[in-house]
Amino acid sequence: MEKINKTQLARKSAVQSRWYGNRRRTFFLVFALTLMVVDMYLIFVWAPTESVMGHVQRIFYIHVPMAWTAFLAFFLVFLASILYLPVRKAPAWTRRWRLWERNPIWDIVASSAAEIGLVFTTLVLITGPIWAKPIWGIWWTWDARLTTTLVLWLIYVAYLMLRAYSSNRSQAGVYSAVLGIIGFIDVIIVYRAVDWWETQHQRLVVSFDRFDVASDMRLVLYFSTFTFLVLFGYLMWQLISIKRLEITIRQTKDKLSMAKIRDARR
């Protein structure tokens, strides 16, 4: 075991606790929160009131960006799942990603994206009815986008439950990677299916975003999307570093217990 310099360690942890672990990340958080404040101002004060729906329509600027983020998160799960599973012959430029083995970082990315994605998806499913009820008088419409989001939510839950109920960590990683890939491809088909189904049944008197979007509104929408993406990025950064720490802790504990056994035998 290497010699531990106690002063250095103390100094390092003091710095770490002041900056909440990482200076750059903390700045990023401040950036994200600032954007959020500005965004809220834009949404609730600056944006023009929609003629038909009134103030309730403002929830659109939260609902839609979160939906996009939720689907982006799932795409990330898909990508990370692919990168996690070993490929025998990976091209040379991917060396750094170590694709020939089960590189744990990809598993961390996938599970982080899934956890955060689930939260965003849940919020989409909550803000949807909040928007719908005052305007159209019903909580839920089985429109293509909302329904696909519901299915996405269910797949996220299945993904996280699969991880939770796996017999060991290795299995959790491999099985959820498989589900990540199958699930993503499935969601694409689900969207197509529900879209045709909605057309077929023509029950949609309401339509969430088929109102006149003035250019000012578009601006707020794009800004809001950017804000939520930044927030998502921060959450990913934070969650990934937490998970990496957890792994380090576990490995250190293992090393310690192995060392203890070896010492005991001597």
Partner 1 sequence: MIDRTPKLAVRVEDLTKGFGEAPVLRDLDIRVGWGRILVIFGANGSGKTTFLKVLSTQYSPDQGKIWMAGIPRSEDPVSIRNIIGVVAHQPMLYQDMSTVENLLFFSRMYRIVDPRKRVAEVTELFGIKSLLERRVGTLSHGMQKRVAIARALLHTPPILLMDEPESGLDEESLYLVMKTLQDYVDQGRTVLMTTHNVDIGLDLASEVAVLSDGAFRYHGNREGIDTDKFRSTYLGRMEVGS
Partner 2 sequence: MKTFLLCIMLIAWKDIRLEFRSREVVISSLVFAVLVMVLFNFALNVTPDTVDIFAPGVLWVSFVFAGVLAMSRSFAVEKDKGTLDALLLCPVSRDVLFLGKMLALFVFMIVVELLLLPVFAVLFDFSAFSGTLISTIVLATLGFATLGAIFSSMAVNTRSREIMLPILFFPLVAPVIIGAVERTNGVIGTDTGIVGSGRWLQLIAVFDAVFLVLCPWAFGIVMEE
Q: How far is the CB of 208 from partner 2 (least distance, A)?
A: 20
User: CA 252, CA 125: separation in Å to the nearest integer?
Assistant: 41
Listed ranges 35-43, 144-152, 211-219, 258-266: which one lies at the site for partner 1 (CB under 8 A): 258-266
Restricted to residues 132-171, the positions that interact with partner 1 (CB under 8 A) are: 168-171
Please name which of 265, 225, 176, 188 lies closest in space to residue 39, comparing C-alpha atoms. 225
Please name which of 56, 58, 109, 64 lies closest in space to residue 82, comparing C-alpha atoms. 109
- Return contacts of 145-149, CB within 8 angstroms, 24+ apart: 145/67, 145/208, 146/208, 147/194, 147/198, 148/187, 148/190, 148/191, 148/194, 149/67, 149/70, 149/121, 149/124, 149/125
Q: Does 111 interact with partner 1 (rule: CB under 8 A)? A: no
Structure tokens at 74: 């799932």
10 Å Cβ neighbour count for 81? 27
Q: How far is the CB of 119 from partner 1 (least distance, A)?
A: 25
User: CA 61, CA 43: separation in Å to the nearest integer?
Assistant: 7
Q: How far is the CB of 102 from partner 1 (least distance, A)?
A: 7
Contact code string over 137-166 relative to partner 2, x by CB under 8 A: --------------x--xx-xx--xx--xx
Q: Report which residue type is found at 6.
A: K
Q: Does 88 interact with partner 1 (rule: CB under 8 A)? A: yes
Taking CB under 8 A as the criterion, the residue among 192, 218, 250, 260 binding partner 2 is 192
Listed ranges 7-15, 155-163, 223-231, 246-254: which one lies at the site for partner 1 (CB under 8 A): 246-254
Q: Does 90 interact with partner 1 (rule: CB under 8 A)? A: no
Q: How far is the CB of 124 from partner 2 (least distance, A)?
A: 16
**Binding partner selected for residue 261 from partner 2, partner 1, none, CB under the kind-specific 5 to 8 Å limit:** partner 1
Q: Which is nearer to partner 1, 25 or 98 (CB)?
A: 98
